[in-house]
Every structure is written in C-alpha cells, then in structure tokens.
Amino acid sequence: MIEMNEQAKLNLRLTFLLSLGYFSNFMARTLYNAQVPITLFEYLGSYGYVGFWMAIFSITSIVIIPIMGSVSDNTRTKYGRRMPFLIVGIPVSAIFFVLISTINPSTDPLWLLLLYMFFFNVAMACFRAQAIALMPDFTKPVHRSKGSAIFYFMAGFGSIVAYILNYILIPINLTLAFLTIAVLMLFCLIIMMYTVKEKDSYSYRQILEMEKNGEKIKRKEGPFQSLIDSFREIATSKDKSVFALLLGIILCFCGWSALNALSSVYFADVLGMERGMAGTMLIFISISYIIMTIPSGILATKIGRRLTIKIGLIITAFGIILGYLFQTPTMIIIGFIIAGIGFSFVTIHNIVILWELVPSQKRTGTYSGIYFLAVFIGSIFGPIIVGFITDFLGNVTFFLIISIFFLADLVCMFFVKRGEAGDAEVPAEIN
C-alpha cells in the first residue's frame, strides 16, 4: 500500500497513481466524443440535433456529480470516502461503453443507442468528482497546482491513447476499439485498489482525527444540506471571485464541449474524411496539451494562476480562430496545436483556484462536484447552441462560433480577484 508522504515535497508517484481514475475517465470520454456523434449523424443528419443528444445526457451529470461528490465527503469505509465510488462506477460505465459500440444505425432503433448513452453517462457521473477529489485529499494546498498539472497530464495522455486506438482499431472494428478502452479502464481500477490507501490521505486523516476527538461535524445535515450551504456561500459572498470563476468555466466548456462533440462530424461532413481520421484530428490538441501540462503548473507558481488562465484563454481562442480563417487540414492542425497549449493553461488551474477558496477541507468533494456542475452546464448548452447556429449560418462558421466562448471566459477572469496559494477566506477546518 502507498503510505501518505508527510514531507513538504509533492509525492509524484502517489499523485500519478491517484490520477488513474481520471485517466480512465478521459480515455472513455474521448472515444465516446469521437465516434458517437458520427453514429448519431447517420440517424439525424443535423449538427444541431447531434449536439442536442450529445449534450442532453449531461443533465444527469449536473444532478448526479455535485450530489455524489457531497455524498463522498460524508462517506466513511475501510476503502476511504472516494474509492468506493470508483470501484462501482468504473465497471458499470465500461459495460455500457461497450454496448454503445454494438449499435448499427441500419438495423437498430435510435432509442436503444440513447438508452445505452444515458446509462453510460450516469455511471461516469457517479465517480468523476471523486476521481479528481482524491488529489487535494492527499495534497497540501501549496502543491495543488503541480498535482493538478499531473492529473491533467494523465487526462491528456488518456485522450492520446484513445485517439491512437481510434485511428488503429476503428477501421478494423468499432466494438474492438471500445472494448479495448473498457479493459484498460478496469486495469487502472485494479492498480488503484492495490496501491492507494485512501485512509492515509492528508484530509481524510484530519477529519477522522477530529471525529475521534469528539468534535462536531455537520454530517447529520447530509449531502444535500452541504451542497445547499455551499451554493448559499457562493451566492451571498461579497467577493464574487467564485461566482465569476464558475461562470467562466461554464462559458469555456460551452466552446470546448461543442468542439469535442461536433468536430468529428465537421471533418467528415466538410472535409470528407473517413470515420477513423475524422475522429482522430483532436489528437493534435491533446499532444500539445499534455506536453504543456507540467510547464503550466510550474508557470502558475511563477506568475500566478489567474494570469496563467488569462494567457491560456487568449492562446486557445487564437488557435481556434486559425481553424476558421484557413479551413484546410494543415492549418486546422496548426491551430489545434496552439489551442492545446492554451487550454492546458486554463483547465489545470480553474479547479485549483476553486479548491483554494473552499472554506473547509470537508467540502473539497462538494466543491469538486460544483466545479463539474459548471463543466456540465457548459457541456449541455455548448453543443446545442453551436450546433444549431452552425446549421443556421453554415458549417464554415463552426470554429468562429466556438472561439467566442473562450473570449467570453477571458472577460469573466478579470472579475476573479483571489485564488492564489493562501487566498482562502477561512483556514482549512472541519465545520
């Protein structure tokens, strides 16, 4: 078992092991976003309706993720408070992930595909907040930007693995590609079960010690009360940093989710690419993203998290606009490489700023759930809005529409006044 490192230095090996759950999530989500829209387009023939169905199941995530993140804050088992959700959620999501790939638009009804998509998204939502909340549980605040960089490095690596398997296996057999990812997800879970001792985490030990000493913890109020209290704190706080950050995250992921949900359709429809290549083009974002994750974490410690995010949003928007100005595979690839660099500056530090502003260690899971709530609000509206506007204005406007959302997020970031290390309103305590 991995024991918690009490030294000031970040435990790199432990952090990489903790990130395997997030790695699994991104592998599956990447292949899902690359191939499911193409299948839906065969049924529907519309960017807007494909975007609608890709987004609509995010509603389940909006409900489930923050609640389950809060539930995990109040969970006490011999496996810890996060791992039980991964132990159940990963296998269930893997099953429905494979079932999605068995659908044939020529013979199977659309409702069956939608049913499998629904259960896949529900299962994924049940462990996503917990998968990322493991990192701040084990990591002290001063190292969380670096820890987050490792998590997003692994997320980007998971996307690259999925894109490579997409390119190699899709021409052979669609189900084979999905099955391979599902097996890798289960393999990652097994590694975590045998190497991560969650009961020794930084935050969990602190909570258990306070409970042992008889200090009052508002567990009797339940996860819904914890979630309601957190929303009330955000809405009534005189400092609107958290509110502005969450609004920016929503806008950012409107653009990002639309890019992921509809780009494979754009490449097949506009540029005439085959299914395997159309679903692989986003690999160029993932490659530059993964290369810059660690430098991004280091940069934020030098110039600050907020400035890093602002620079990242400008770079991301510029890269996407290049795709609009020069709609050729070569220029789109160059734009994607630039956008991936910028996006690594953004996503790594958004959630770290939010963690820094959590008023209690006990609510780390709740705030992680709220983060994903913002992500999935963007995931719902982004593909729908971009899809129908693209149908109305023409498919050549696809990248231009997406870039607008990143620029809107940039505006929001100027209203985020706190979020650097040590900026928490209240010292980390159990309340």
Contact 345, 252 (CB under 8 A): no
Least confident of 124-133, 195-204, 356-365: 356-365
Residue 4 has what pLDDT?
Answer: 43
Residue with tokens 């696809």: 398
φ/ψ of residue 313, rounded to 5: -65, -40
Mind giving me the DSSP string for 37-77? HHHHHHHH--HHHHHHHHHHTHHHHHHHHHHHHHHHHT---
Cα 285-289-293 angle, rounded to 5 deg? 175
Higher pLDDT, 223 or 349: 349
Higher pLDDT, 73 or 122: 122
What percent of the chain is modeled with pLDDT above 70? Answer: 84
For residue 382, pLDDT over 80 is answered with yes
Residue 364 has what pLDDT?
Answer: 61
Cα 353-357-360 angle, rounded to 5 deg? 135
What percent of the chain is modeled with pLDDT above 90? Answer: 37
For residue 113, pLDDT over 50 is answered with yes
The CA distances from residue 86 to 63, 100, 189, 243, 385, in Å, are 18, 21, 7, 29, 32
Q: How far apart are CA 274 and CA 351, in angstroms?
A: 36
For residue 354, pLDDT over 60 is answered with yes
3-state secondary structure 230-284: HHHHHHHCCCCHHHHHHHHHHHHHHHHHHHHHHHHHHHHHCCCCCHHHHCCCCHH
The CA distances from residue 57 to 33, 54, 227, 358, 403, in Å, are 13, 7, 22, 28, 24
Task: Categorize the per-residue pLDDT at 377 as very low, low, confident or very high, splitting at 50, 70 and 90.
Answer: confident
Residue 357 has what pLDDT?
Answer: 72
Domain limits, the chain: 12-195+219-413
Task: State which of 72-86, 99-113, 154-168 shows the largest mean pLDDT.
Answer: 99-113
φ/ψ of residue 2, rounded to 5: -85, 125
| Averaged pLDDT, 301-314 | 89
Q: Is 220 helix (H, G, I), strand (E, B) or coil?
A: helix
Residue 255 has what pLDDT?
Answer: 94
The CA distances from residue 165 to 26, 181, 322, 346, in Å, are 13, 8, 27, 27
Residue 425 has what pLDDT?
Answer: 46
Q: How far apart are CA 402 and CA 169, in angstroms?
A: 30
Q: How far apart are CA 370 and CA 376, in angstroms?
A: 10
Q: Render pLDDT for 54-97 as a digit per residue (tens, 0 to 9).
A: 888 777 777 787 777 777 777 777 777 788 889 999 999 999 99
Neighbours of 9 (CB within 10 A): 8
Task: Categorize the per-residue pLDDT at 134 as very low, low, confident or very high, splitting at 50, 70 and 90.
Answer: confident
Q: Which of 241, 246, 293, 234 is nearest to 419 (CA)?
A: 241
Q: Is 106 helix (H, G, I), strand (E, B) or coil?
A: coil
Neighbours of 30 (CB within 10 A): 26
Helix, strand, coil tally for the chain in percent (to 5)? 80, 0, 20
Residues 6 or more apart from 104 whose CB is under 8 A from it? Answer: none
Residues 6 or more apart from 108 whose CB is under 8 A from it? Answer: none
Residue 6 has what pLDDT?
Answer: 43
Token pair listed for 176: 């084979």
Contact 170, 276 (CB under 8 A): yes
Residue 430 has what pLDDT?
Answer: 35
Neighbours of 241 (CB within 10 A): 21
Contact 340, 284 (CB under 8 A): yes
How far is CA 207 from its chain centroid?
27
- Superfamily for 12-195+219-413? MFS general substrate transporter like domains (1.20.1250.20)
Residue 2, beta-bridge partner list: 196
For residue 418, pLDDT over 90 is answered with no
Residue 140 has what pLDDT?
Answer: 75
| Averaged pLDDT, 139-147 | 74
* Helix locations, 141-240, DSSP H: 144-169, 174-195, 202-212, 222-236
Least confident of 5-19, 29-43, 280-294, 301-315: 5-19
